[in-house]
Amino acid sequence: MTWLITGGAGYIGAHVARAMTEAGERVVALDDLSTGVPDRLPASIPLVQGSSLDGELLKRVLAEHAVTGVVHLAARKQVGESVEQPVRYYQENVGGLATLLEAVAGAGIERFVFSSSAAVYGNPDVDLITEDTPCVPMSPYGETKLAGEWLVRAAGRAHGIATVCLRYFNVAGAAAPELADTGVFNVVPMAFDRLTRGESPRVFGDDYPTPDGTGVRDYIHVADLADAHLAAARRLAEGRVTGDLTVNIGRGEGVSVRELFTLIGEVSGDTRPAVVEARRPGDAPRAVASARLAGERLGWSARRGMREMVESAWQGWLLHHPEAAARGAGA
């Protein structure tokens, strides 16, 4: 088999591409390089620069590389930006997916993995979020992911494509420093960025109904997430998933923001206290996954813990931000 990975030069995409290649799968990557970095991919993986909105390019790539399955990660993914640019998010996330599925159906491809998000759930008031928890997304980004799931399932039924949708929670860490997240949009690199500039990390709200008052989240190592994509692809290739399947990808363990910042201080050596600011609109007190179904249907479970996530992310941060090491811990 040959798998097309869209967004394959991105932070998550490159991890998926490497995990699949190391497991013996043939891979070709497609990326518009708006945020992707070509050097994340080994030379053995062909990289095609282009967008999932380009139907003619997709047809050529699928044919020229004899693609038999697709892992679709390419998407815009910043919640705040989606609120400011909802039309762009729907055009790129839903429109790009529609164009890709049309090409996939036309090529007779029968296996499709869609990277969805826990953002589809919104802010449910439950201890553990299961796949049956009602989906009430709170942002245009979350809406595009939920609409994407609907579209994937509908196209699968119409064209005989077996599909898996992976709803993953908060991603952190790196399998190798050069694969680290270079953006400053998620909580771990945001904290690193503040420390590097000699500032305290920010906690948005400490009056939630949680043990220490700060929000509780489920964090998943990006290498575990890559393994989940590999497991989904393998199950599809083996014919062990027919029709459609939707599963959560998380550890099933909650970690508070304050606990996370304590760990970041231990790893970085900069233990300055966080500053507390007002809650952000739409933030949930708690969002923790039930990962039981992923174990049952994909044979997958997370293997890496929080310290490994933070330590690997810090090593990647130091590689890409040598000024952090030059400053010295706690300086």
Which tens digit of pLDDT belongs to each residue from 211-252? 999 999 999 999 999 999 999 999 999 999 989 999 999 999
Taking 90 as the threshold, does the pLDDT of residue 326 lie above it? no
Check if the beta carbon of residue 175 is closer than 8 Å to that of residue 230.
no
Q: Pick the catalytic residue: 121, 141, 168, 219?
A: 141
pLDDT above 60 for 287: yes
Q: Is the pLDDT of residue 178 over 90?
A: yes
Q: Considering the chain, what is the average pLDDT of its residues? A: 95
Report pLDDT for 331: 38
Residue 330, pLDDT above cutoff 50: no
Whether 228 contacts 249, CB under 8 Å: yes
Structure-token pair, residue 270: 């900069």
Average confidence (pLDDT) over 246-260: 98
Q: Under a CB-based contact definition with an 8 Å cutoff, are residues 117 and 124 in contact?
A: no
Instruction: Name 29's bridge partners.
Output: 5, 47
**What does the alpha-carbon distance between residue 90 and residue 137 come to, in Å, rounded to a whole number?**
14
What pTM does this model have? 0.95
What pLDDT shows up at residue 327?
A: 63
Q: pLDDT digits over 23-46, tens only?
A: 999 999 999 999 999 999 999 999
Task: Give percent of the chain with pLDDT exceeding 90.
Answer: 93
Distance of alpha carbon 65 from alpha carbon 42, whole angstroms = 17
Can you tell me whether residue 331 is helix, strand or coil? coil
Residue with tokens 């998933």: 241
CA distance 270 to 74: 35
Position 284 scores a pLDDT of: 86
Q: Which domains does the chain have, with CATH numbers?
A: 2-169+221-249 (3.40.50.720), 172-217+251-327 (3.90.25.10)
Q: Where are the beta strands (DSSP E) in 19-125?
A: 26-31, 47-49, 69-72, 111-117
pLDDT value of position 1: 92
Per-residue pLDDT of 107-142, as tens digits, reads: 999 999 999 999 999 999 999 999 999 999 999 999
Q: Please give the single-letter amino acid code of residue 84.
A: E
Is 90 catalytic? The answer is: no
